[in-house]
Amino acid sequence: MSIIVKNRLFTLNTANSTYQFTADAYGILRHLYYGTRVDNTDFSYLVQQRDRGFSGNPADAGDDRTLSFDTLPLEYPVYGCGDYRESCLAVTHPDGSRALDLRFEDYSVFQGKPELAGLPASIADLKTESLQVRLRDLVSGLSVCLTYAVFAEKDVIARSVRIENHGEKPITLDRVLSCCLDFFQPAARDMMLFYGRHAGERNVQRSAILHGKLRAESTRGASSLHYNPATIVCTHDTTETTGEAYAAVLVYSGSFLISAELDQISQTRLVVGIQPENFAWRLEPGESFTAPEVLLAYSAEGLGCLSRRLHAFIDAHIIHGAWAGRRRPVLLNSWEAAYFDYDDEKLLQIAQSAAELGVELFVLDDGWFGKRNGDTSSLGDWYGNENKFKCGLPGLCRKINALGLDFGIWIEPEMISMDSELYRAHPDWMLAAPGRPPIKSRCQYVLDLSRGEIVDDLFEQFSALLSSCNISYVKWDMNRSLADLWSAALPAARQGELLHRYMLGVYALLQRLTEAFPNILWETCSGGGGRFDAGMLYYSPQIWCSDNTDPIARLAIQRGTSYIYPPSCVGAHVSASPNHQTGRETALALRAAVAASGAFGYELDPAKLSAEEKQEVVAQIQDYKRNWQLYAYGTLYRLESMRGQAWLRVAADKKRAILTYVQEGADANAPAQYLKLQGLDPMQTYHVLPSGQMLSGAALLHGGLPLPELRGNYPLVQRILEAT
């Protein structure tokens, strides 16, 4: 069993980790341990209680000054009980008071895991076991149900929380976070955040957790381009291959908060959940509120091992549906080939050229609907642009299919243009603060998806579109942050519910459309990677990684992404050179090597390629089709390199591997370079292609692979290793 309960001591075991907490004599839920698996141990002995000045004591502790919520390691800390650190739950009672004091009530253990109402969450298998622990505030009747779903073989614990009002009056939830981790043994720890901007997402920042608070957060109504809703906490000495590391990944796509705090006695607290700013939820008697899930993973073998555990889990238990585990079609997206300037004749010329190269899917990007010829109109009018298509959208689709290509399309369901039939019919459907001019971004505004009738209308529009022709792929975009936070459908006292209700509306629409059209390949996007999160991956098996298609810029973007998310879900395209975002010139081989990260495609006009480049593209597509399992699902190792970036993908049986190395520049008379590989079988002999070397796995692991002398801009080395 993965869950063991003995005398209110709760032990959760995965293959390589143990998580433990206890309900003490006072019913306080104390966190005891999370780390390397240790069987048959009660870690209560680790907690040392001492009298700390200005740390108050609960009334039932009597004269015991050592017992304080302010210093104990807790499973689910709340505001108003004398704990002055970051809390997970804060409420306002009908009389305006805010005190809470949660104590243990009961627990249950069962196979599988409960669904989270209206929210994406990890998917259980037959081996998943769950623990639910119920806490109750005796004065108000508020109860908290903590759920721990243990995926033992994948070394992941999925945490979630449900708040229930069993009292007789409504309570306002001011703050509901999903997870707390208290590291009560003082140690020098770092926090890894994934920050960025449009066209520069998920850069890695590793900072020491010092006294005060270190935060990553979004208040934008989306998980955002600017911070990712995931973090890694590790010791100062943790490297790619050694040391302890913990990951917390929020399965949510809206505004969020991740905060790490070093307290007065050098304990570290990490909390994760919905952003409390602009959040207030009125919970009526008998109602409940469910917070998003957090995925916890631990590694004692460095950051690389932690990433690989997350990759395996997300591929198996978040991504699901018809396209899970399958090779995605090699696509060509029309955006950088034509932008808004096209008609059906031009599109067919691009598609014809793409088909001749071996492309399998043609994707029509922005500009196909309403009267849209730029970004100033027609969002909300999801029917074909009659001025662009002589044969109509269904006719264009049939002609694309006749070329041997599948047909895909771009949509932006959450947005509206003032110059649209939808706005003229329903101006109150747009988010807008009363009496104030709305904030415009990219000449567009946001539909109030907290309202069920708007979700219903969008479902009907897109159902009609997707039923009108043979559409096999949909790119769902979202190109601005939310502002003007006011809904015409909510009373003043409930406007604080808007952002979360909006996100629930997005999820509801995604759920209905993916269920109605289960064979369509869905790819989500938000100005590139502005909602690259586990919540979106529940509905779409891939996400457009970034609008920046420059391969050198993508090295950093995709490396940062790889700390949490698997290669299979990374949308990556080969684009033109010079690159449209940076103006940088790079070799076609380099662009393809960087783009071969799972969901591979092109974003250029193939008719503009030279004859030699066309032959190269044909070979690239053939290579991807031949090696797609390694590219998308091979075990990923980020290798140490002094001069560039190197990554290795190894097959599950360790008989094949693909190495890619990109160096950012070259030096005259440079020192020799070697890459120590990882993940290979030391007992096997590997044929290294195209160099022809025959080397043992042990030699490659411990001695390394010599790199050739490298010259020119951004030199590339690729090697295939095959066990003999």
On whether residue 680 sits in a domain, the answer given is yes
Kindly provide the residue ranges of all beta strands, DSSP E only, lying in 80-235, ordered along the sequence: 89-92, 102-111, 129-137, 142-151, 156-165, 171-183, 189-197, 200-208, 212-218, 230-235
Please determine, for residue 459, whether its predicted confidence score (pLDDT) is greater than 90: yes
The pLDDT assigned to 709 comes to: 93
The pLDDT assigned to 374 comes to: 97
From 317, 345, 367, give the residue that closes a domain. Answer: 317
Range scoring the smallest mean pLDDT among 451-465, 658-672, 679-693: 658-672
Per-residue pLDDT reduced to its tens digit, 224-234: 999 999 999 99
The pLDDT assigned to 624 comes to: 97
The pLDDT assigned to 1 comes to: 87
The pLDDT assigned to 664 comes to: 84
How many domains, in total, are found in the chain? Answer: 2
SS3 sequence of 231-252: EEEEECCCCCCCECEEEEEEEC
The CATH number linked to 642 is 2.60.40.1180
On whether residue 204 sits in a domain, the answer given is yes
Please determine, for residue 597, whether its predicted confidence score (pLDDT) is greater than 90: no
On whether residue 485 sits in a domain, the answer given is no
The pLDDT assigned to 4 comes to: 98
| CA 688 to each of CA 647, 655, 723: distance values in angstroms, whole numbers, following the listed order | 16, 12, 9
Name the average pLDDT for the chain.
Answer: 97
Per-residue pLDDT reduced to its tens digit, 657-684: 999 999 988 889 999 999 999 999 999 9
- List the alpha helices (DSSP H) in 293-446: 302-317, 335-338, 344-357, 392-402, 421-425
From 282, 317, 352, give the residue that closes a domain. Answer: 317
3-state secondary structure of 57: coil
Q: Are 311 and 154 in contact (CB under 8 A)?
A: no
Please determine, for residue 272, whether its predicted confidence score (pLDDT) is greater than 90: yes
On whether residue 549 sits in a domain, the answer given is no
| Catalytic residue, candidates 533, 547, 550, 623 | 533
On whether residue 218 sits in a domain, the answer given is yes
3-state secondary structure of 314: helix
Task: Please state, in angstroms and rounded to a whole number, the distance separating the CA atoms of residues 693 and 639.
Answer: 20
Per-residue pLDDT reduced to its tens digit, 560-595: 999 999 999 999 999 999 999 999 999 999 999 999
On whether residue 30 sits in a domain, the answer given is yes
Residue 533 is among the residues annotated as catalytic for this protein = yes
Please determine, for residue 642, whether its predicted confidence score (pLDDT) is greater than 90: no
| Catalytic residue, candidates 613, 616, 681, 722 | 613
SS3 sequence of 2-52: CEEEECCEEEEECCCEEEEEEECCCCCEEEEEEEECCCCCCHHHHCCCCCC
The CATH number linked to 66 is 2.70.98.60
On whether residue 564 sits in a domain, the answer given is no
pTM of the model: 0.98
Furthest CA-CA distance within the chain: 86
Per-residue pLDDT reduced to its tens digit, 152-164: 999 999 999 999 9
From 317, 343, 378, give the residue that closes a domain. Answer: 317
The pLDDT assigned to 219 comes to: 98
- Stretch 1-27: mean pLDDT: 97
- The residue range of the domain holding 643 is 638-723
On whether residue 716 sits in a domain, the answer given is yes
The pLDDT assigned to 598 comes to: 84
